[in-house]
Amino acid sequence: MSKLLDKKSIIKKTMEVGSSTLLSRLLGLVREVLKGRFLGTNALADAFVVAFMIPNSLRKIFAEGALTAAFVPTIVSLSRDDNQKEVDALMSLSFLIFEGILAVTCLLMFWQAEAVVRLAASGFSPDKIAITADLFRIMCSFILFVSSSSLLAGALQSVNHFLIPALGPVLLNVIFIGALLACLWYSLPVTYLCYAILLAGVASFIMHLIVYFKKGFGFGPITPHAKSQFWTLLKKFFPVMFSMSIMEISLFIDTSFSSYLADGSVSIINYANRFMGIPLGIFAAAFSTIMLPYFAQVSVYEPKKLSYYLFEASKLVMWVTVPVALLMSFFAEDIFSTLFLSDKFPLARVLEAKWVLMGFLVGLFFFSLNKIILNVYYALHDTYTPMMISIVATFANYILNQFLVGHFQATGLAVATSISGLIQVVLFIYFLRTQYGFDFHLAPFKQFLPRFIAQVIALFALFITAFLVIKWLILLYLGNVHLWSIPLSVFLLEKLGLWLWVGPLSLLLGLGFLKTRRHFGIELYFID
């Protein structure tokens, strides 16, 4: 029987998953920089982005989000009854059905690759569609291996093992980076990179399978009870698939709209979305991963406490994501200029990417909170309500895209996605209140919010002051000191050297938030 995690275990396991995700995101950052150096922002870059986005997004839609969210509560319920044979039988049936359907889907996509690309990026020229289709055919079966990994990950997470599922993206990035370095060093064509991505999917599956057997799981004969459980799970899966994948669906919509813009716009959207995904993955996705089985267990053992835990989780999400969004917005231009600026990624593209990133960061809190609230609905075994809300949010994103893209180009697409995230949060909260009578603790929140705002203003004032003073000192004392062929001040203010001192300064800001919260009267259940 799986036991209910206490709050110390929640933070410990969030840090465990978050640290693995941090490693993955740091590797992802290296990957994106190398990809920018290798492909830049041109037609070929757009072709690769779309060709990789299709199977990668399908992974997140069918595998990481929906399968895990549908599987974990079901397996937790079976594990509660110490029914390992039924768990093994359910896994066998699930593999046969899900992977069989995906295998047929991959064959169809391989056969009609150009039609699939045309659906995802309808604004591409015929030549661009042909190039994208060739790359997509290599990578389309990637979804088979990562979906299999996600099935295994769902079983592992049900027994509170999160490390290996979190290391899957790390392995993918290591292989991705190795392939990019080889492509840059030996001037290899982009097809080599596509084959490496496929290899990464196979390696991730093997890693998950080994740990799956080590944890005592297996594959058993399919029983009538397993069939019943599977059909119940399937009824959850399709609504969950849509609700959990709202970000990926929004990215598909944004990509489709940006394919009508100038060459490189698809890549700009992708780069900005990747950077916004760093905090989303390191904290929000990690925290929500831990909270899914936790909420599932609370709904069984202490259902009346769900609303309180949601309130405290929401406070923590706000306390973490709002300062991160402000910090990343402050350095948005520096992020792209220091990491990407080159002949293939000119200054005009840097400035465009800056505004697109800021457009996405507006919605970081809403995207993060949505991940937490979704888990509450799934713990209540309600998949229909979040599905309908997600449909409304997606439709709103489409309408907003049509209105904003003409005025603000790619930045408008990012802002539209953020607004749709806000709409989703409002509707989630409204129906939790009206359908389930959740108490959102407005009185304590009214006490928390002004204290949090005061902490943000005070610490960011100190941070910006320190930043400007250090910048002035660098210009004053290091302007005439040369490092290789450039002044040291240029390296520390306009090149990668910027992060040698801004990084530690940002960590001090985070430590300041942690250490001063009690001085501002801020109480956080999952930390205190």
pLDDT by residue for the chain (528 residues), tens digit each?
344 555 566 666 666 665 666 677 788 888 888 988 888 778 888 999 999 988 887 776 666 656 666 676 677 667 666 677 888 888 888 888 888 888 898 999 999 999 999 988 989 999 999 999 999 999 998 988 988 888 888 788 777 777 787 778 788 889 999 999 999 999 899 999 999 999 999 999 999 999 889 888 888 888 888 888 888 777 777 776 776 667 777 878 888 899 999 888 898 998 898 898 888 877 776 677 677 667 767 776 676 778 888 888 899 999 999 999 999 999 999 999 998 888 888 899 999 999 999 999 999 999 999 988 988 887 887 878 988 998 899 999 999 999 999 888 899 999 999 999 999 999 999 999 999 888 777 888 899 999 999 999 999 999 999 999 999 999 988 877 776 778 888 899 999 899 999 999 999 999 999 999 999 999 888 787
Separation of alpha carbons 156 and 112, rounded Å? 35
Q: Which residues of 378-403 are buried (b: 16+ CB within 10 A; e: fewer)?
A: bbbebbebbbebbeebbebbbebbee
Q: How far apart are CA 214 and CA 301, in angstroms?
A: 29
The residue type of 53 is M
Query: DSSP 3-state assignment of 345?
Result: strand
Q: Is residue 521 part of a domain?
A: no
- Domain containing 266: what range? 7-440
Tell me: do 168 and 303 sit in the same domain: yes
3-state secondary structure of 266: helix
Q: 416 and 287 in one domain? A: yes
**Are residues 332 and 468 part of one domain?**
no
Sign of the C-alpha dihedral computed for residues 510, 514, 518 and 523 taken in this order: positive
CA dist list (Å): 123 to 73, 127, 181, 260:
41, 12, 31, 4
Q: Is 486 helix (H, G, I), strand (E, B) or coil?
A: strand
Cα–Cα distance for residue pair 363/355, rounded to 1 Å: 13
Residue 2 in domain: no
Tokens of 106: 């991959």
Same-domain status, 349 and 498:
no
Domain co-membership, 128 together with 216: yes
Say if residue 35 is in the same domain as residue 135.
yes
- Angle (deg, nearest 10), helices 224-244 and 84-94: 60
Buried b / exposed e over 507-522, threshold 16 CB at 10 Å, is eebeebbeeebeebeb
Does residue 292 belong to any structural domain of this protein? yes
Q: Is residue 524 part of a domain?
A: no
Paired with 342 in beta bridges are 345
Q: Tell me whether residue 429 is exposed, middle or buried, using C-beta atoms within 10 angstroms of its C-beta: 0 to 12, 13 to 18, 19 or more.
A: middle
Q: Which amino acid is at 222?
A: I
- Per-residue tokens: 328: 């990343």
Structure tokens at 463: 């941070």
Tell whether 522 is covered by a domain: no
DSSP 65: I
Same domain assignment for residues 452 and 407: no
Which of 440, 468, 485 is the last residue in one of the domains? 440
Question: Is the CB of residue 356 less than 8 Å from the CB of residue 272?
Answer: yes
408 with 459, same domain? no
Is residue 213 domain-shared with residue 348, that is, in the same domain?
A: yes
Q: 3-state DSSP call for residue 87?
A: helix
What does the alpha-carbon distance between residue 106 and residue 524 come to, in Å, rounded to a whole number?
46
- Three-state SS string over 106-143 comes to HHHHHHCHHHHHHHHCCCCCHHHHHHHHHHHHHHCCHH
Q: Determine, yes or no, domain membership for 249.
A: yes
Cα–Cα nearest to 136, from 179, 84, 177, 194? 194
Question: Considering 440, 464, 498, which residue would you say is the last residue of a domain?
Answer: 440
Same-domain status, 61 and 184? yes
Q: State how far the alpha carbon of 364 is from the alpha carbons of 3, 78, 262, 279, 320, in Å.
A: 32, 35, 27, 8, 10
List for the chain the helix, strand, coil content (%; round to 5): 85, 0, 15
Query: What is the CA 421 to chain-centroid distance, rounded?
Result: 14
Residue 269 in tokens: 């959207």
Which of 509, 456, 251, 285 shows the shortest CA–CA distance to 356?
251
Distance CA 339, CA 32 (A): 9
* In a shared domain, residues 510 and 397: no
C-beta atoms surrounding 344 within 10 Å: 17
**Boundary of a domain, candidates 440, 463, 488:** 440
Total count of domains within the chain: 2
> 502 in a domain, yes or no?
yes
As given in the structure block, the two tokens for residue 295 are: 């909420």
Q: 463 with 425, same domain?
A: no
